[in-house]
Structure 1
């Protein structure tokens, strides 16, 4: 109950954490993210976590959004199939439009550019829309990011192009690399949120530039795994133990993400659990190839890597990418390869 005080400024009694004891909030909030508190006669500010909208709770998305929940952000989430993986306490929205009407910032984690474009239109059309910034964390390609940005811009909504790299492990541990392309002022607005999920890099001011960095990174990673699979298969065929090969290469010039991480952790152990499928890998390599061709960049190596991953996905659809090694050792498609 409010009562007159000091020229009719309302005095509102609020409950705070047990460690603080009783507290009093005076005046109307001067900023939507802060409350003013009087504790033992001293005026202080206490940050209030902002409500965040989240669309897409797949294998990466539901792990990322959990870090926002753990930081105290109220969440409104939506997914056509995976709401069961929403963080405890999150409000489950019945539509993407409801998410857009509930938060100033909406973060997307979606399978592809076509779906991103559809969701962008739903956000624009949302009744009672609050959304002012949409953060796209998926790998959707340059053209799709630019197109989604145009859709949103017509409604005065900023697209922050922010694809992530690091896979399920990075999403779980909040160690993702986040490649952010947007104006400086928008980066300042979203950086604290993205920092809860990984390490944000401001790569440029334009939507699509984040996608460019992500595509070239994924191409290099896919190339390293395919090439390392061939090289290690060659070495073991000469009677060399895989561990010996990895020890030498990782101390020499051939070291890469496959020799340093995927082979010792996922392949040598026969766990094959990188958490990224051949289908997604083939999609990302194809996106890189298409964008390289559109930019007039040499694509001979990309063409070969695209063919390698496309064939594996055709033969082993949805398999973990680390199965590239047994697939390669078995002859890439020849019957009787290791499983």
Structure 2
């Protein structure tokens, strides 16, 4: 069934996602504060709206792909999206934000007479372009069923993780695993270099034995073994280091708030914060291997003060 979809946030992830919805036969009305991104989305079959509010007035579903919870909540409440939408509109937030902000967004949407689902994604820009994203959804079963055809148009898999905020919880837990494993793979390659082991030899062993993981076999942090990995393209971002730093910060904050002794997760958050704040600002998150070669990064306390 064709839907009218408002898509707010047409960046490196949102643009391709909106384009896939349009290609699937949905009418997609989009908006982004960056005119160039809006123009690029038009090339993907998205209708340009003059404002976010104008985009949602006829929509059956509103999809948001924004940087932070502050942006999502501000758009919903302060900029009037909830008031402008027709009663019963499904608000599908695909941003990666704090669990508490996701739950606050659900409450605001429901209070305004609409339906809500948080559905952050995994798969990066490559997955958005190819339509192979995984969606982790939080909200009611009815809302998830309502969103599934749209999620299927944008990705390869969607998992209903639980009630409001559960999608965000799954996302930050998943990316904590990913961040830690990328650091581990990077450290192993640097250790191998120091021992005279070639990248290919280590890859051939680890990729077919107990060291196998996505950070190794798909996004290998050294050039050579995986031709499509960012390491073979000067670490041009598929999933950028600043985005990984953001996700690990959210995971670290959640761990502290819930009394979880996530020692590796907390240290990974520190390492990526330092990397993303320096040479890694424009690099893929696998570029952390360069920081490993350079030596220990500074530590920071729980308030983020560098020591």
Q: How does 1:280-291 map to 2 (within 5 A)?
A: 280-291=243-254
- Alignment deviations for residues 66-118 of structure 1 (CA, whole Å, 9 cap, x no partner): 11111111111111112112144432111111122120210111111110111
1:332 Cα deviation from its structure 2 partner:
5.3
TM-score by length of 2: 0.88
Residue aligned with 1:296, SS: coil
What is the alpha-carbon distance in structure 1 between the residues aligned to residue 133 and residue 207 of structure 2? 23
TM-score by length of 1: 0.80
Gap runs ≥5 in structure 2 = 221-225, 299-307
Structure with more helix by fraction: 2
Gap runs ≥5 in structure 1 = 1-46, 335-339
Residue aligned with 1:98, SS: helix
Match of 1:139 in 2: 96
Q: How does 1:185-196 map to 2 (within 5 A)?
A: 185-196=142-153
What is the alpha-carbon distance in structure 2 between the residues aligned to residue 223 and residue 248 of structure 1? 20
Highest RCO, 1 vs 2 (Cα 8 Å, sep ≥ 6): 2
Name the larger-Rg structure.
1
Residue aligned with 2:218, SS: helix
- Alignment deviations for residues 122-176 of structure 1 (CA, whole Å, 9 cap, x no partner): 21232x6456110011110201101111111111111101000000111011110
**Structure 1 counterpart of 2:15, from 38, 62, 69:** 62
Asked if the contact 2:3–2:61 (Cα under 8 Å) also holds between the matched residues in 1, the reply is no
Match of 2:180 in 1: 223
Match status 1:109 vs 2:77: no
Residue aligned with 1:289, SS: helix
CA RMSD, aligned part only? 1.8
Match status 1:78 vs 2:42: no
Match status 1:235 vs 2:184: no
What is the alpha-carbon distance in structure 1 between the residues aligned to residue 204 and residue 64 of structure 2? 40
What is the alpha-carbon distance in structure 2 between the residues aligned to residue 83 and residue 225 of structure 1? 33
Asked if the contact 1:166–1:176 (Cα under 8 Å) also holds between the matched residues in 2, the reply is yes
For the structure 1 residues 267 and 150, does the alpha-carbon distance in structure 2 shift closer, same or farther, using more than 3 Å as the test?
closer
Q: How does 1:21-32 map to 2 (within 5 A)?
A: none
What is the alpha-carbon distance in structure 2 between the residues aligned to residue 141 and residue 107 of structure 1? 17
Match of 1:327 in 2: 291
Residue aligned with 1:145, SS: helix
Count of matched residue positions in the alignment of Structure 1 and Structure 2:
285
What is the alpha-carbon distance in structure 2 between the residues aligned to residue 328 and residue 273 of structure 1? 18
What is the alpha-carbon distance in structure 2 between the residues aligned to residue 260 and residue 109 of structure 1? 28
- Alignment deviations for residues 284-332 of structure 1 (CA, whole Å, 9 cap, x no partner): 1010011112222112111211111111122222322121112211325
